[in-house]
Amino acid sequence: MSFHLPEHGISDAAMIAAIVIFATVGDILIAAAMRGIGDLDDIRACSGLGGAIGAVLGSGRFLFGVFFMALSFFSLLFALSHADLSLVAPASASLTFVTNAVAAKVFLKENVDRRRWVAALFVCAGVALMAL
């Protein structure tokens, strides 16, 4: 399997990149929104289930994150209609793992330990092997 650039259309790499970028943006926005909202159990205890649902759905950051996750999903559907499942699914899932680690460190200020960075390097090596 290898990335190829068709005469007309989008390359496999570009389709996978779109999936990964949209998913990562969506994950970061949703995580940031949930941190801002707070503990849903506490909200539910004070305001009931409706209050918890309202707190989540009332967050613009959360809704924007869901929008990006939807873009990722539809990018995946597009990619699967043009490229091999055996390339698109594992490459997009594994590269999303890597980009989420980087984005969590940069945007959410998470402590991403050495074990996760080593795992990310192995993931990149695996994707490179798939592309050969």
Largest CA distance in the chain: 59
Could you read off the pLDDT of 108-127 as tens digits, one per residue? 999 999 999 999 889 888 88
Residue at 108 is within a domain: yes
Q: Count how many domains the chain has.
A: 1
Could you read off the pLDDT of 53-67 as tens digits, one per residue? 999 999 999 999 999
Q: What is the pTM of this model?
A: 0.86
pLDDT surpasses 80 at 10: no
**43: Cβ contacts below 8 Å, ≥ 6 apart:** 37, 51, 52, 55
Query: What does pLDDT average to over the chain?
Result: 91
Residue at 7 is within a domain: no
pLDDT surpasses 80 at 1: no
pLDDT of residue 2: 54
Domain region containing 121: 12-131
